Structure 1
Amino acid sequence: MTTIDTFSHDVSGEKEFGFAQAIKVGDTIYISGQLAHDEHGDFLHPGDIDGQFRQVWANLEKVLAHYGVTRNQIVQDGVFVVDLPQNAATVAAAHLEYFGAHRPTSTTVGVASLFFPGQLLEINFIADTRLPA
């Protein structure tokens, strides 16, 4: 029997939009788009892509810790970024800094806008618990 485990940051939006931050099905963890919000769900760092990346990574680390996995077990990410031509170098640098030598598959998509005013990025992830931490 496959077990299912969900994780929530318990912030506004999760209940109103009806989603979990992550769901683990068997050995695979599907992680919703992480963005720059604090523990109360307040959006941080509008217009500051570096600040948003730092907060996205911090929020992702909370999800990974819940499941006892590390960034080295992430197999895929999807990066949604406003004004991709202007922010492409920053996206690449932040990705390289966070993952180091680990190389998950990745798709980066330029978008016209995201949910919050000043939101420049959102990233979703898939992790596999069978990979070494």
Structure 2
Amino acid sequence: MVTHTRIRMFNTQDTYPNQSLDNDLCQAVRAGNTLYVRGQVGTDFEGRLVGLGDPRAQAEQAMKNVKQLLEEAGSDLSHIVKTTTYLIDPRYREPVYQEVGKWLKGVFPISTGLVVSALGQPQWLMEIDVIAVIPDDWQPDNA
């Protein structure tokens, strides 16, 4: 019996060609009505960095990714219950949180913010992961 669905499976050899990695991962996992979305950065799903040196632009791309992954899993942004945001510089807090706030207006998730020394690639300035819970009676607009 399958207990969860993996969304956008990939291998880290493709994501991190400059590193010697070989891990099978996925962008999101749906377990029942709960969705776990891995950390999203300013890179689109084709591997192109958006916003080199611009934390707000990277946050915008990260949220576009989050939205797309939630929709692929049968959810939407309104179902987010928890966010964790990682910044490599505390000065990025305002532009990143302002951008994320635009996407989550009216959602009211709990949120944790961390300043870390680095992320998986040196050009990444921020990363955000989310957990969402889909209501039992919810149907996507395209269903």
User: Which one of the candidate residues 18, 21, 26 is aligned to 1:20?
Assistant: 26
Superposition RMSD in Å: 2.2
Task: Answer 1 or 2: higher relative contact order, Cα 8 Å, separation at least 6.
Answer: 1
CA 1:112–1:5 in 2, change beyond 3 Å: closer, same or farther?
A: same
User: Which one of the candidate residues 106, 113, 127 is aligned to 1:108?
Assistant: 113
Q: Which amino acid aligns with 1:5?
A: T
Q: Is residue 126 of structure 2 the alignment partner of residue 126 of structure 1? A: no
For the Cα contact (< 8 Å) 1:34–1:56, is it kept in 2? Answer: yes
Q: CA deviation at 1:64?
A: 0.9
Equivalence map 1:80-95=2 (5 Å): 80-84=86-90, 86-95=91-100
Structure showing greater Rg: 2
TM-score (norm 1): 0.87
The percentage of counterpart residues that share the same residue type is 25
For structure 2, the 5+ residue unaligned runs are: none
Decide which structure has greater helix share. Answer: 1
TM-score (norm 2): 0.81
User: Which one of the candidate residues 59, 64, 77 is aligned to 2:65?
Assistant: 59
Aligned equivalents of 2:43, 2:100: Cα separation in 1: 19
Aligned equivalents of 2:116, 2:107: Cα separation in 1: 26
For the Cα contact (< 8 Å) 1:9–1:39, is it kept in 2? Answer: no
Secondary structure of 2:118's partner?
coil
User: Which one of the candidate residues 38, 43, 49 is aligned to 1:32?
Assistant: 38
- C-alpha distance after superposition, 1:73-104 (max 9, x if no partner): 000010001111x1122133123211112110
Aligned equivalents of 2:9, 2:44: Cα separation in 1: 9
For structure 1, the 5+ residue unaligned runs are: none
- C-alpha distance after superposition, 1:23-82 (max 9, x if no partner): 111111111001111232233322111110111111111101112211110000100011
For the Cα contact (< 8 Å) 1:83–1:111, is it kept in 2? Answer: yes
- Which structure 1 residue ranges, 4+ long, deviate > 4 Å from structure 2? none
